Amino acid sequence: MSTLVIYFSQTGTTRAAAEKIAEIKKADLVEIKPERPYEMSYVKTVWTSMKEILKKARPALAMELPDIQKYDRILIGFPVWCGTAPNVVLTLLDALNLNGKHAAVFTTSGSTKPVKLAVKLKKAYPETRWHKPLNANGMTEEEVRDWM
Ligand SMILES: Cc1cc2nc3c(=O)[nH]c(=O)nc-3n(C[C@H](O)[C@H](O)[C@H](O)COP(=O)(O)O)c2cc1C
Share of the chain above pLDDT 70, in %: 100
- Give domain 3-146's CATH superfamily: Flavodoxin domain (3.40.50.360)
Task: Find out whether the beta carbon of 108 lies less than 6 Å from any atom of ligand 1.
Answer: yes
Instruction: Output the pLDDT for position 46.
Output: 96
* Type of residue at 125: Y
In a mutational test of the pocket of ligand 1, which residue from 21, 109, 113, 134 has the highest number of ligand atoms less than 8 Å from its CB? 109
Distance CA 78, CA 15 (A): 8
Which value, in Å, is the radius of gyration of the alpha carbons in the chain? 14
Domain boundaries of the chain, sorted by first residue: 3-146
Task: Find out whether the beta carbon of 80 lies less than 6 Å from any atom of ligand 1.
Answer: yes
Q: Which are the contacts of 83, defined by CB distance < 8 A and separation ≥ 6? A: 112, 116, 117
**At 40, is the pLDDT very low, low, confident or very high (cuts 50, 70, 90)?**
confident
Task: Find out whether the beta carbon of 50 lies less than 6 Å from any atom of ligand 1.
Answer: no
| Distance between Cα 1 and ligand 1 center (Å) | 31
Is the per-residue pLDDT at 1 higher than 90? no
**At 80, is the pLDDT very low, low, confident or very high (cuts 50, 70, 90)?**
very high
The predicted model gives 30-52 an average pLDDT of 95
Q: Give the model confidence (pLDDT) of 109-131 as tens digits.
A: 999 999 999 999 999 999 999 99
Task: Find out whether the beta carbon of 111 lies less than 6 Å from any atom of ligand 1.
Answer: yes
